[in-house]
Amino acid sequence: MQYFEDETKDFNKQEEAKYQKVHGKSGFEKFVALPRAAKLTIYALILTVIFLITLLFFNIWVGTFGKLENVKSLTGEQQVYLNKILSETFPQKYSLKITELPYSIRPAKLNVWAESAIVYDFANGCVIYEKNADQIIPPASITKLFVMYLVFEEINSGKISLDDVVPLPERSWAINLPSDASKMFLGQGQTVTLRELLNGLAVASGNDAAIAVASYISGGTDEFIKKMNETCKNLGLVHTHFVDTSGYDENNLTTPRELAQFIYIYMKKFGDIALQFHSMPSIFYPTEGNLPSWQKSYGDSKAIFQKNTNPLLGELEGCDGIKTGFIYESGYNLALTVKRGKERFISVTMKGPGNNTKEGQAGRVHDGKEIMEWAFSSFADYVARERVKTIFTIPTPGTEEKFVNLVPAWDEIISVPHITGKTPQDTADSIEAEVSIPKYIYGGVTAGRIYGQIQYKIGKTVLQTVPLVADRNANPADNWGLFWGKLATHKLK
């Protein structure tokens, strides 16, 4: 009987058996009939192919860990969480505190006439010089910086504005102040804005302006003084206390260190607006626009020209503030800030010598120049993020994330001492950053945890060590993921 390839033909069981007999055994039956050695060879070939395919895909997968550009950016929520963790873990770096240098230097031998002094780098708050910095001394008219701080706080909160017209209580009229008190010459019926009063505080150091501002913000000086002292407490200024708003009373107290600490906060928060007032060379007040109706006919003839009490404005390169103070119990005080290029230094000198204003101002000029010329010739700022790579992408096998970034625990700016080269900048340019990071992190990553570091060095001298922390959490993978991740670590090594 002959059979043809006919897909439409139905075979009965007998015919099918005959067909199989005619066409021989199936492939499986043929394989089963093979000798044992042949079957083992086939098994080995199959396993080899599977292994090679698996190895190929594994290598392709591991190779993706090298594509570091695939790392995802942090979400807003992740960034907020990281900032919170870092501020809690490194509070000294995230609070506005002046601190010691992170390395040792020989104390500078400066010819500072004032009994007490302190100097720091505004970029990082590092103190580079001090002399009797914890002596308790009346701040005198530097007190008015605290008044201005509270004004800027109120402006920042939207409660008041610089263009507000401020009523002048009788206590604030210049004729009602002691004859030796500093004044901007407020008077009955005058029209004056808050901006003009701040000019009077910053430039002429007007006690009358301090009374007017305090009354406007708090309804009276007593309530405003309470607010000043609450602010000191909240800022951690334990030795600073006020009994008036102008600094005229010798029972106002502070120390150079605490005053320097306060100015650091003041400048960091409000420096842009504050220096607009502190850098003004002079004021001319009251002009015709300020006078009451019954004095308008005088025009500007009643205006009094007053130079800024800071003698270093226009005298010392880069000087743009901040404030002087004097009563007999305090001596000649000066809070000074100088900026050259991108670098700014701030100093506080207290109990400066002098038997009269001329001698006191001469002492302020001498000490200000002595300190600031030394500071700029002895230090330069090294801003790490502008000089070297500070963010590093690391593979994380065995986690739900493929990569994390290791980032500096804080934004480092180093005050570099002039120990090599012709200038401090030469020294800063010679800094080398030595990075220590792992090749991978296996099985889970915790945001904010330290996994590496950067050391900033000049030769063998370490100026600063900054931890590198994970910028996000990466939870461990499941068991299968951990298995493959562990294999990947051997490849990544």
- Residue-wise pLDDT for 314-329, tens only, equals 999 999 999 999 999 9
CATH of domain 75-95+388-492: 2.60.410.10
In angstroms, the CA 67 to CA 260 distance is 48
Tell me if 75-95+388-492 shares its fold with 105-379: no
Q: Give residue limits of the domains in the chain.
A: 13-61, 75-95+388-492, 105-379
Residue 298 CB partners (closer than 8 Å, separation 6+): 288, 291
Angle, helix 144-156 to helix 221-234, in steps of 10 degrees: 90
Q: Which of 374, 156, 364, 192 is nearest to 266 (CA)?
A: 156
- Digitized pLDDT (tens) for each residue of the chain, 493 residues in all: 454 455 555 556 666 655 555 455 566 677 677 788 877 887 788 788 777 676 666 666 566 666 666 678 899 999 999 999 999 999 989 999 999 999 998 899 999 999 999 999 999 999 999 999 999 999 999 999 999 999 999 999 999 999 999 999 999 999 999 999 999 999 999 999 999 999 999 999 999 999 999 999 999 999 999 999 999 999 999 999 999 999 999 999 999 999 999 999 999 999 999 999 999 999 999 999 999 999 999 999 999 999 999 999 999 999 999 999 999 999 999 999 999 999 999 999 999 999 999 999 999 999 999 999 999 999 999 999 999 999 999 999 889 888 899 999 999 999 999 999 999 999 999 999 999 999 999 989 999 999 999 999 999 899 999 999 999 999 998 887 787 778 777 777 7
Reading across the β-sheet that carries 331-340, which strands appear in turn?
Answer: 99-100, 126-131, 116-121, 343-352, 331-340, 319-327
pLDDT at 32: 73
CA-to-CA separations, 483 to 397, 476, 478, 488, 491, in angstroms, rounded: 10, 11, 9, 9, 13
pLDDT at 483: 77
pLDDT at 465: 96
pLDDT at 55: 61
Query: CA-based Rg of the chain, rounded to a whole angstrom?
Result: 38
Number of H helices, E strands in the chain: 14, 15
Looking at residue 239, its amino acid is H
pLDDT at 57: 63
pTM for the predicted model, two decimal places: 0.86
pLDDT at 477: 87
What is the architecture, at CATH level 2, of domain 105-379?
A: 3-Layer(aba) Sandwich (3.40)
